[in-house]
Amino acid sequence: MRRHTFGRTATAATAAALTALALAACGNGGSGDGDPGGDEAEGQTLDVWIMQGTNPSADAFFEEVATAFTEETGAELNVELVEWADAHDRFVTSIAGGTTPDVAETGTTWTPEFADAGALAPLDEYVASAGLDADLVEGLVEAGTYDGRLYGMPWYAGVRALVYNTEIFEQAGVEPPTTWAELEEAATAIKAELPDKIAIAVPGDAEFTVYPWVWGAGGEVATLEGDTWTSHLDSPESQEGLSFWTGLAEQGLSSAGATTWRETDVLDAFAQGDVGMAVMGSWTPGAIIEANADMEGKFAAVPIPGKDGGIAPSVLGGSHLSMFSTAENKDLAFAFIELMTTGELAERWGEQAGYFPGQTSLLAETLESTDPLVAPFAQQFVEGGGSVPVSPDFGAVQAKKTVGVMMQSILSGSQDVATASTTAAEEMTSLLNGGG
């Protein structure tokens, strides 16, 4: 009997051990990387990771890039498309196993994190010798600079603005708002006229839709002084912005469901024609029409209004192309980066994906567009671009969902703005300064 018991304990122990493995099965990869480096690029292969989903016709695009790249350098191009959702984990495991690609697309908030870990190679000299340093979009350079060196080559970026349903606006007889008071009036009018619609979506789990209201009231997310970060989410200005934004939901102008919405849920509801206004990205118009072809021509955008007029800043979110320190032929890697981020290919990528290019001279052309779904975003991009704190620890703030927690606790009514923002500011300050 005893023997029996032991046997089963051992089985259970194995099963329990498996549990632990499932939780911890991270961080062990293979090892060894390797294209043998030669002096000439011919016969070499450049491994590149690009995020999936940005450009709907990525496959055709990269076939063309590969041809152009081989013509220019003689080397082969090996592009792997990676899902955004898996990408961070894949980067980390590949860094651990030494199997990183030569070049990869890195989200702007990841670049400082990987640079801090020593996984990326600085690009300053290459950029300078290519004569590009004066021609890169400022906000993206700032986001890609860590410890005074550039680790992320600006590739493309998008920005969020206020997207509205023109049909709903017509039925309610309102105009696109230019101040907060107007915005509130418009939302109230929509709710009165169309009680079944969501006048303005105030999502609880979408941090990038929150910052514009903090900045629009004159507040700050966090500032760096010397070596110390301080979050100002609890300043009177920030609290005023948060009170306005969450107050719209409190007045019943949003929906109960929005308390737990992410940006994808906002997009779904907007595409169904259920939403009057929402903060959405410059890349979403294509997705809205793809989800519901009936929406074509029934929505437009304006820059997010500041409290008393003007434009409330919104985060420039985008991607860099980064070179990994494991790249064997760094000149070849930069040749690819330059090919992608400048000139015709960069412009076309932006057009196809609904993003703005990271090269200032290219951006100027985009800004001349009169498309009602491009021009307002372009204005927001140039006149109202903001950046989240450029710190390798901002990833920790995002992972802990500091801002989402604050928003959801206010929207669900479990905490008031003052309490929730004070807690969030304390947590953000601690995380940005490397505290656990």
Partner 1 sequence: MASTLPAVAPTGTEHRPGPVVRRTVGRSVAARVRPWALLAPALLVLATLLLWPLVRVALLSLQDYGLRQIVTGESSWIGAGNYAEVLTSAQLWQVVLPNTVGFAVAAVSCTVVLGTAVGVLLASLGRLARTIVSSAIMAAWAMPAVTGTYVWVWIFDADRGVVNHVLQTLGFQAQPVNWFTDRWSFYAIVLLNVVHHGFPFVAVTVLAGLLGVPRELLEAAEVDGAGAWRRFFSIIVPQLRQVFAVVIILSTIWDFKVFAQVFLMPGGAGTNREVLNLGVWSYVESFGQNRYGFGSAIAVLLTLLLLAVTVVYVRTIGKEEL
The whole-angstrom separation of Cα 39 and Cα 37 is 7
Determine, following the binding rule CB under 8 A, whether residue 131 of this chain makes contact with partner 1: no
Amino acid at 171: Q
With beta carbons less than 8 A apart as the criterion, state whether 286 and 56 touch: yes
Q: Which two tokens stand for residue 199?
A: 């006048």
| Segment (H or E) for 189 | helix 180-193
The whole-angstrom separation of Cα 231 and Cα 252 is 30
- Tell me whether residue 87 or residue 127 sits nearer to partner 1 (CB atom): 87
Determine, following the binding rule CB under 8 A, whether residue 395 of this chain makes contact with partner 1: yes
Determine, following the binding rule CB under 8 A, whether residue 25 of this chain makes contact with partner 1: yes
Stretch that binds partner 1, among 235-243, 255-263, 299-307, 373-381 (CB under 8 A): 255-263
Stretch that binds partner 1, among 20-28, 75-83, 291-299, 300-308 (CB under 8 A): 20-28
Task: Report the SS3 class of residue 421.
Answer: helix
With beta carbons less than 8 A apart as the criterion, state whether 222 and 432 touch: yes
- The one among 102, 205, 234, 263 contacting partner 1 by CB under 8 A: 205
Determine, following the binding rule CB under 8 A, whether residue 400 of this chain makes contact with partner 1: yes
In b/e form, how buried is each residue of 261-296, taking b as 16+ CB within 10 angstroms? bebebbbbbbbebbbbbbbbbbbbbebbbeeeeebe
The whole-angstrom separation of Cα 68 and Cα 25 is 40
Determine, following the binding rule CB under 8 A, whether residue 239 of this chain makes contact with partner 1: no
Determine, following the binding rule CB under 8 A, whether residue 274 of this chain makes contact with partner 1: yes
- Tell me whether residue 95 or residue 161 sits nearer to partner 1 (CB atom): 95
To partner 1, the closest distance from the beta carbon of 242 in angstroms equals: 15
Residue 139 CA neighbour count, 13 Å, CB half:
27
Q: Using CA of residue 244, residue 247, residue 249, residue 251, what is the dihedral sign?
A: negative
Determine, following the binding rule CB under 8 A, whether residue 4 of this chain makes contact with partner 1: yes
- Tell me whether residue 10 or residue 128 sits nearer to partner 1 (CB atom): 10
- Tell me whether residue 34 or residue 413 sits nearer to partner 1 (CB atom): 413
Q: Which residue has the tokens 């903090």?
A: 214
Q: How many residues bind partner 1 (CB under 8 A)?
A: 59
Determine, following the binding rule CB under 8 A, whether residue 13 of this chain makes contact with partner 1: yes
To partner 1, the closest distance from the beta carbon of 89 in angstroms equals: 8
- The one among 73, 380, 408, 429 contacting partner 1 by CB under 8 A: 408
SS3 for 192-247 is: HHCCCCEEECCCCCCHHHCHHHHHHCCCCCEEEECCEEEECCCCHHHHHHHHHHHH
Stretch that binds partner 1, among 123-131, 186-194, 309-317, 408-416 (CB under 8 A): 408-416
To partner 1, the closest distance from the beta carbon of 405 in angstroms equals: 5
Angle, CA of 224, 229 and 232, to the nearest 5°: 90
| Segment (H or E) for 106 | strand 103-107
Determine, following the binding rule CB under 8 A, whether residue 224 of this chain makes contact with partner 1: no
Stretch that binds partner 1, among 175-183, 307-315, 332-340, 392-400 (CB under 8 A): 392-400
Determine, following the binding rule CB under 8 A, whether residue 327 of this chain makes contact with partner 1: no
Determine, following the binding rule CB under 8 A, whether residue 245 of this chain makes contact with partner 1: no
Determine, following the binding rule CB under 8 A, whether residue 119 of this chain makes contact with partner 1: yes
- The one among 112, 255, 281, 361 contacting partner 1 by CB under 8 A: 255
Q: Which residues bind partner 1 (CB under 8 A)?
A: 1-2, 4-5, 8-9, 12-28, 89, 92, 95-96, 113-114, 116-119, 198, 204-205, 255-257, 259-261, 265, 269, 274, 395-396, 398-401, 404-405, 407-408, 412, 414, 431, 436
